[in-house]
Structure 1
Amino acid sequence: MPKKKSSFNIAVIGAGAIGIDHIRSFQTHPAAHVVALAEVSPERGQEAVDTYGIPTLVTDYQELLKRDDIDVVSIALPNFLHASVGLEALKAGKHLMVDKPMATNARDAAKLITEAKKRRLKLMVGQNMRFSPEVQTARKLITDGKLGDVYHAKTAWTRRSGIPRIGSWFTQKQFAGGGCTYDIGVHALDRALFLMGEFDAAAVSGQTYSQLGPRGRGEGNWGKGEIDKKAKFDVDDLSVALIKLKSGRTVLLEASWAAHLPQHDFFTSQVFGTDAGVMLNPLRLIRPGKQGYITEEIAATTPLANENRMVHFIDTLLGKAEPYVKPAESLAVQKILDAIYKSAATGREVRIK
């Protein structure tokens, strides 16, 4: 493991919309220095280094992995590259930040964890939704026993028209691995599992649909990647799943990029206990009162020093914080994602070992 340091040089790989978010986020931490960017598009890369004052721009990320002065690699690439590039970065002795999904299968995700442990390097997946004050406060209500015994959760991120530009890498399975389930469903899933304090699933039943995207409907405007108008739309634009956790508790998940919905964008989680329920956003506690049910809006607070996942990651390297997204949790999420797609393909419940 590299010697203990008071500041860290960071290389970001990818200058799409997520890559720009990585750069901006890291630059808010005084101990983080984004010193290099790898981007295959010279125009997109140059715009980023000019805007954010990054000293080095390359088109081949492997040039950066060879540099001894780079401590951290932050990956903002299409999903199918997360595991392979991440593994190279770890083997090069770099701490690794990668955004969700961790990989496109649990086998590759596990390789990242094994390599990070072997080299005593930090690895974190940027599951940023659990960092919010509302989620933090809801989690505290649950751990304080305000809900009684928690037994079920419903969680969803659904969009009426939010496909990330039809023809981009997001809508091609060979690059994305999956559609709305990987893109936004994973956020809803991780948030619910975090709230329940349990990540390991015993069984999953799932179904995926691709109904509006192939018809050229439901497009949004996310991302900066190139569009291939001839590319086949072969990922899911809506999915549902029932996850049975090892404790016997359950999570009902729904995700959509495109569906005929009343709301344009709806992101919610509900947790049910024997004494009360909690729902967000906004954060509300639902409990029985003397004259019927009471819905109480709860002010959100957070015990975290910083809600920014990149800032938090640097704090873990400095020894100021414990990793808030543990690799084992991210691997458990990946196993559930794998099971959703396998269940949808086979029409059967999938048991998770």
Structure 2
Amino acid sequence: MKDKKKNDRIYNVAVIGAGGIGIDHITSFQKHPNARVVAIAETSAARGSEAAELHNIPEVVTDYKKLIAHPGIDVISIALPNYLHAPVALAALRAGKHVMIDKPMATRAADAARLVAEARNQKRLLMVGQNNRFTPEVQTAKKLIADGVPGDVYHAKTAWTRRAGIPRIGSWFTQKKYASGGATYDIGVHALDRCLYLMGEFDAAAVSGQTYSKFGPRGLGDGNWGKGEIDPSRRFDVDDLSVALIKLKSGRTVLLEASWAAHQPAPDFNGTQLFGTDAGILFPPLQLFRDTPRGYVTELVKTSAPYASTNRMTHFIDCLLGKAEPYVKPAESLAVQKILDAIYLSAKTGKEVRVK
């Protein structure tokens, strides 16, 4: 996985997908001196050519399989609709490539487990781009917890909720056959992942969840994210809001909320609150709540990024160079996928789901 003997090695990267996320992958990798984005695969020839010209990328293809088979490519970075994440990542791993995959890891835990096993078998780096872990707020909160400041963190509330932020009604994001899920998969996964990371526990015992679709089917709550095609005739058939109570194996709990569209005071809220026996933590902005001899106080905490680069792609290359340990481990992303599966199953059946 790491190349400790050749810390000056250049890694050739191919990005699969040149939509909004794909462009972010390209520009993020290009910030590392040991990474070269040498190719793009994009089914839209016009969109692929535009991205290649704008970002000085020498090769563009419409069939991603050509890049997976290319002997000169070291890293496959996947920025595709959710339903393609697992099959493309699996093919890339089997071809001996290192793989950066955008969230969610897959659309079901069984497929995510295959990716984890294949990466282990091939001795290749597999990482899910959970960029919310990389923020200075999260990294500073993690250090506060490691230093024991909040005491025992026994409960958390975590959310990413938008007032009107559906990624363009009629795009692949809002069609179940391509996305598999809606707000839960798109932004809820970020809130969930960073919360479990902060708590230092990913294995859930049971999940109760409920999903709603109240705005999208009425053509309300639209946003402007993405570059994919829009088909107004396509039915909006994913969730635009979800809630879940997650009971971890230790007995601690997490309350998760995600929404693309909802009546709320802020246009966008993306934060986490941790309840500890000695203090509480909330962000944004990063705050600490606790009792002191001078009374109950709220302290604003200065943030820093002590653990990893704030750029998930440059961190990925640092891991390949042997300069860093993977900040997002495949087993953790698999555990997150199991919880996502359980949320949707609980919403479908109306029952609490035990997680195996």
The TM-score with structure 1 as length reference comes to 0.98
Residue of structure 2 equivalent to 1:269:
272
* 1:234 maps to 2:237: yes
* 1:247 maps to 2:250: yes
Q: Which amino acid aligns with 1:53?
A: N
Q: 2:196 aligns with which of 167, 174, 193?
A: 193
Cα distance in 1 for residues equivalent to 2:270 and 2:66: 40
* 1:66 maps to 2:66: no
* 1:303 maps to 2:306: yes
Residue of structure 1 equivalent to 2:283:
280
Cα gap change, 1:254 to 1:305, in 2 (>3 Å): closer
* 1:22 maps to 2:22: no
Residue of structure 1 equivalent to 2:179:
176
Task: Verify the 8 A CA contact 2:156 2:253 in the aligned structure 1.
Answer: yes
Task: Give the Å deviation of 1:331.
Answer: 0.3
The TM-score with structure 2 as length reference comes to 0.98
Cα distance in 2 for residues equivalent to 1:196 and 1:182: 21
1:1-353 → structure 2 map (5 Å cutoff): 5=6, 6-353=9-356
Task: Give the Å deviation of 1:290.
Answer: 3.2
Task: Give the Å deviation of 1:265.
Answer: 0.2
Q: Which amino acid aligns with 1:326?
A: K
Task: Give the Å deviation of 1:305.
Answer: 4.8
Task: Verify the 8 A CA contact 2:2 2:321 in the aligned structure 1.
Answer: no
Q: Alpha-carbon deviations, 1:110-147, whole Å to 9, x = none?
A: 10111111110000000010111111110111111111
Of all paired residues, the percent bearing the same amino acid is: 71
- What SS class does the counterpart of residue 235 from structure 1 fall into? coil
Cα distance in 2 for residues equivalent to 1:10 and 1:18: 15
Task: Give the Å deviation of 1:150.
Answer: 1.0
Cα distance in 1 for residues equivalent to 2:285 and 2:266: 15
Task: Give the Å deviation of 1:288.
Answer: 1.2
**Number of residue pairs the alignment of both structures matches:** 353
Cα distance in 1 for residues equivalent to 2:278 and 2:69: 56
Task: Give the Å deviation of 1:304.
Answer: 2.9
- What SS class does the counterpart of residue 338 from structure 1 fall into? helix
Cα distance in 1 for residues equivalent to 2:218 and 2:161: 19
- What SS class does the counterpart of residue 63 from structure 2 fall into? coil
Cα distance in 1 for residues equivalent to 2:293 and 2:242: 40
Cα distance in 2 for residues equivalent to 1:2 and 1:28: 20
After TM superposition, the runs of 4+ consecutive aligned structure 1 residues lying more than 6 A away are 1-4
Q: Alpha-carbon deviations, 1:244-283, whole Å to 9, x = none?
A: 0000000000000000111100011000011100000100
Task: Give the Å deviation of 1:2.
Answer: 9.4
Cα distance in 2 for residues equivalent to 1:303 and 1:147: 19
Cα gap change, 1:306 to 1:155, in 2 (>3 Å): same
Q: Alpha-carbon deviations, 1:151-206, whole Å to 9, x = none?
A: 00000100000000000000000000100000000000011101111110000000
Cα distance in 1 for residues equivalent to 2:247 and 2:82: 26
Q: Which amino acid aligns with 1:208?
A: T
